[in-house]
């Protein structure tokens, strides 16, 4: 005869709560329900609620003390527990333990069997070796990117044969196809590893945006685009905005620009701080002023300018027939000071002419060679003895300028009148010097003959 049902009936008949009289279910300690019933029959209280700390089932309303707390049930199945630390649920609730928790009810078996791992799966059962785990007797192998036929667990405890598989664009590793990539070596063929997505993607053509060399067909990522070459030289770029060439084609940066700040600016004839359009940093252009600029040394202009190769050089140049003033050669004259030392100014034309000598008085010309010439009946002019006249003022002594442009003392024709002149003559152009000795003698003879006629 079974005592447990009879005791339950007596318990209820005596007016105790049904929970105190109900059977606690299967338990390793059959004395607990008897003790609880006895306590109830003796007039004890109903016991502690679920989740309360306990020492044995008699202290709990449920009659179950599991892992030192009053539990809602006996909670004896594998991978179940009744405390919050193991399940993450409130104390007293019988729930599955966390995945990976070791449980004495789970057997630890070899991976090749596809059986249990010795831990719980988080769902209230013993965990099995995962799908893809090598099993059986044939070790998985790779042939390049081909995963050869092998055996693997199906995740449900069975060991199944896996067919041969081409893993491209990803790699084969120990007989298995990789499913993600983390580095360039994880991808094969014309692909690269997109590390953010963990996927192998087709490589990019020139001109396409890129973040690394491995993404490009050319193997070169420059200025944020795939480029036809490395394009790492000074003043080189691979985008149209910098070179004027098609994006993706490496070329020299445009002259006068420096988009990457590669060129420093230097003083004198050094770098300008921009590119030269030929793939180098630009130097100051040839003949750019440098140093002291320009100054004068007598009639010589001394100028300092860049040679186009980074150096400041000096260059001398004669300003003749003009003078040098304030570092510049004059180009016309108003006075003799505007001309070189051996020149005189012809003010009407603004030209500096060669001086053959100088006048020592109104009728005497001293040549540069030391020869003394008398100019009568003409006067001495800037370039020597005059040979024609246009006014009486160009004639010496009492001579007058006749209609033929000759200075005569008496006769010789009527003098030529010009506005503002004192009755002189005006023929020809003044200023032609006497350079022929016989011309002087002929003039003297003419004067002598004129005197005899008087």
Q: Which two tokens stand for residue 119?
A: 């831990």
Parse the chain into domains and list their residue ranges: 3-95, 290-355, 357-453
pLDDT of residue 410: 67
pLDDT of residue 370: 86
Condensed to tens digits (0 to 9), the pLDDT of residues 354-369 reads 878 878 899 999 888 8
Q: How confident is the model at residue 73 (pLDDT cuts 50, 70, 90)?
A: very high
pLDDT of residue 66: 94
Confidence check: pLDDT of 420 > 50: no
Alpha-carbon gap, residue 79 to 91, rounded angstroms: 16
Which segments of 14-163 does DSSP mark as H helices, in order? 18-21, 31-41, 84-87
| Nearest alpha carbon to residue 392 among 370, 425, 356 | 425
The beta strands (E) that lie in 307-447 are given as 312-318, 324-325, 328-329, 343-346, 351-354, 357-361, 364-367, 372-374, 380-381, 384-385, 400-401, 407-408
pLDDT of residue 407: 94
Condensed to tens digits (0 to 9), the pLDDT of residues 117-145 reads 999 999 999 999 999 888 877 777 888 88
Least confident of 17-31, 74-88, 296-310, 326-340: 17-31
For the chain, what is the mean pLDDT?
Answer: 81
Alpha-carbon gap, residue 149 to 39, rounded angstroms: 67
Mean pLDDT of 96-125: 93
Any bridge partners for residue 200, and if so which?
Answer: 193
pLDDT of residue 211: 92
- Residue pair 126/107 in contact (Cβ under 8 Å)? The answer is yes
Instruction: Check residue 305 and report its DSSP letter.
Output: E
How remote is the C-alpha of 430 from its chain's centroid? 74
Q: How confident is the model at residue 199 (pLDDT cuts 50, 70, 90)?
A: very high
**From its phi and psi, is residue 241 left (phi > 0), alpha (psi between -120 and 50) or beta?**
alpha
Any bridge partners for residue 209, and if so which?
Answer: 225
How remote is the C-alpha of 218 from its chain's centroid? 20
Which segments of 14-124 does DSSP mark as H helices, in order? 18-21, 31-41, 84-87
- Compute φ and ψ for 249, nearest 5 degrees: -110, 120
- Residue pair 137/113 in contact (Cβ under 8 Å)? The answer is no
């Amino acid at each position: 005869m079974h005592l447990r049902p009879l005791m339950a009936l007596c318990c209820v008949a005596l007016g105790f709560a049904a929970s105190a009289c109900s059977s606690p279910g299967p338990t390793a300690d059959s004395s607990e329900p008897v003790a609880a019933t006895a306590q109830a029959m003796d007039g004890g209280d109903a016991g502690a609620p679920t989740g309360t700390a306990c020492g044995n089932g008699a202290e709990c309303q449920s009659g179950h003390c599991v892992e030192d707390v009053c539990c809602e049930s006996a909670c004896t199945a594998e991978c179940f527990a009744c405390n919050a630390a193991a399940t993450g649920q409130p104390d007293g609730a019988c729930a599955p333990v966390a995945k990976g928790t070791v449980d004495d009810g789970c057997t630890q078996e070899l991976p090749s069997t596809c059986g249990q791992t010795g831990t719980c799966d988080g769902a209230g059962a013993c965990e099995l070796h995962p799908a893809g785990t090598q099993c059986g007797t044939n070790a998985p192998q790779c042939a390049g990117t081909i995963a050869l036929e092998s055996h693997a667990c199906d995740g449900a405890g069975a060991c199944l044969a896996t067919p041969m598989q081409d893993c491209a664009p990803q790699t084969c590793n120990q007989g298995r196809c990789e499913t993600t990539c983390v580095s360039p070596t994880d991808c094969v063929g014309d692909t690269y590893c997109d590390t953010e997505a963990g996927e192998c993607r087709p490589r990019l053509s020139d001109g396409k945006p890129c973040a690394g060399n491995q993404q490009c067909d050319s193997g070169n990522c420059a200025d944020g685009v795939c480029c036809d070459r490395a394009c790492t030289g000074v003043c080189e770029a691979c985008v149209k905005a910098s070179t004027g060439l098609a994006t993706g084609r490496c070329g020299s940066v445009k002259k006068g620009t420096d988009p990457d700040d590669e060129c420093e600016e230097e003083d004198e004839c050094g770098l300008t701080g921009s590119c030269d359009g030929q793939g180098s940093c630009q130097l100051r252009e040839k003949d750019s002023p440098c140093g002291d600029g320009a100054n004068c040394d007598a009639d010589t202009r001394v100028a300092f300018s860049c040679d186009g190769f980074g150096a400041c050089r000096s260059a001398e140049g004669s300003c003749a027939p003009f003078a040098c003033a304030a570092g510049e050669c004059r180009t016309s004259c108003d006075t003799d000071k505007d001309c070189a030392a051996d020149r005189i100014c012809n003010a009407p034309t603004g030209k500096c002419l060669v001086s053959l000598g100088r006048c020592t008085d109104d009728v005497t010309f001293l040549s540069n060679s030391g020869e003394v010439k008398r100019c009568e009946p003409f006067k001495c002019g800037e370039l020597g003895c005059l040979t024609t006249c246009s006014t009486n003022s160009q004639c010496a002594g009492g001579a007058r300028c006749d209609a033929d442009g000759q200075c005569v003392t008496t006769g010789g024709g009527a003098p030529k009148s010009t506005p503002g002149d004192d009755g002189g003559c005006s023929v020809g152009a003044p200023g032609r010097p006497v350079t022929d000795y016989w011309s002087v003698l002929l003039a003297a003879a003419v004067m002598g003959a004129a005197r005899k006629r008087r």
